[in-house]
Amino acid sequence: MANTSTAYGLIPVGLAGSATNSTGVTEYEIASDNTNAIYHGGIVVPLAAGVITFAGATDGGTTQALGVLTGVEYVDSGTKKPTFKNFWPGSNSVSVDTNHPVRAFVADNPNQIFKVASDASLTDRATALAGVFANASLGTSARTGSDTTGQSNSALGVSTIATTATLPLRIVGIVDDEANNDFTAAGIPLLVRLNAHFNAATRRFDSQTTADSTGI
């Protein structure tokens, strides 16, 4: 039976190790003239101007990622009241009072574990398990989402799973989910970490290549 959930971006589910998971987020800013939609569950990156924007398919690999967007707040220019959304629709789709910042709430702990769906068949559980500790990317789905629900359409690219150290995601586990356990179909929930994280140390050890890599 096909899986019930096939693409929803990255969902924070816990922290690596035994650290207490507060599900906390950090407040950053989005430029009020940023025309790009940034979806709930989408990876974001920091910019030199002190604001954030959406990440591309490879960000988090060679380019450091900041975390995952969970929502935004801005002041509507018409009502002059704070407005909360689970995503940033882009400046062409909202009326923002530019006297106030566009606040973005980001799950930015470098030890954050996220749940993400596979975008294609993993064949069976044994094959999926063989992908644990390997790396992967979101492929072309990295920046896509629903303008109705605000939810990201990002999903882990099964075809990208490899030991390549510059890929943005590290697979660390498989979620046991009765509603999404058809390994022959897209939508298997996997646990991942961001490989190269802006808030982490400047180097990481890649277990797949036994070498230091720039990034995390």
What is the 3-class SS of 158-181, one letter each residue?
HHHCECCCCCCEEEEEECCCCCCC
| Residue 95 scores a pLDDT above 80 | yes
Report the percent of the chain where pLDDT is more than 70.
Answer: 88
The neighbouring-strand residues paired with 170 are 135, 193
Q: Which of 77-86, 139-148, 191-200 has the lowest mean pLDDT?
A: 139-148
Q: Would you place residue 111 in the very low, low, confident or very high pLDDT band (cuts 50, 70, 90)?
A: very high
User: Residue 28 carries which side chain, given as an amino acid letter?
Assistant: Y
Quick one: which of 34, 45, 168 has its CA closest to 93?
Answer: 34
135, 167 contact by CB (below 8 A): yes
Of the two residues 200 and 118, the one the predictor is more confident about is 118
Where in the chain are the domains? 11-15+110-198, 26-107
pLDDT at residue 213, rounded to an integer = 40
pLDDT at residue 165, rounded to an integer = 83
Average pLDDT value for the chain: 88
Q: Looking at residues 43-70, what average pLDDT do you find?
A: 84
Q: Looking at residues 54-80, what average pLDDT do you find?
A: 85
pLDDT at residue 59, rounded to an integer = 58
| Residue 212 scores a pLDDT above 80 | no
38, 140 contact by CB (below 8 A): no
Of the two residues 196 and 8, the one the predictor is more confident about is 8
Q: Looking at residues 113-119, what average pLDDT do you find?
A: 96
pLDDT at residue 208, rounded to an integer = 46
Residue pLDDT, tens place only, 6-54: 899 999 999 988 677 777 899 999 999 999 999 999 999 999 899 999 9
pLDDT at residue 202, rounded to an integer = 53
Exposure of 88 in the CB half-sphere (CA atoms within 13 A)? 34
What are the phi and psi torsion angles at 191 (to 5°)? -100, 135
pLDDT at residue 216, rounded to an integer = 27
Of the two residues 168 and 173, the one the predictor is more confident about is 173
Q: Looking at residues 140-144, what average pLDDT do you find?
A: 78
Q: Looking at residues 123-143, what average pLDDT do you find?
A: 91
Q: Which of 84-93, 136-145, 165-174, 192-201 has the lowest mean pLDDT?
A: 136-145
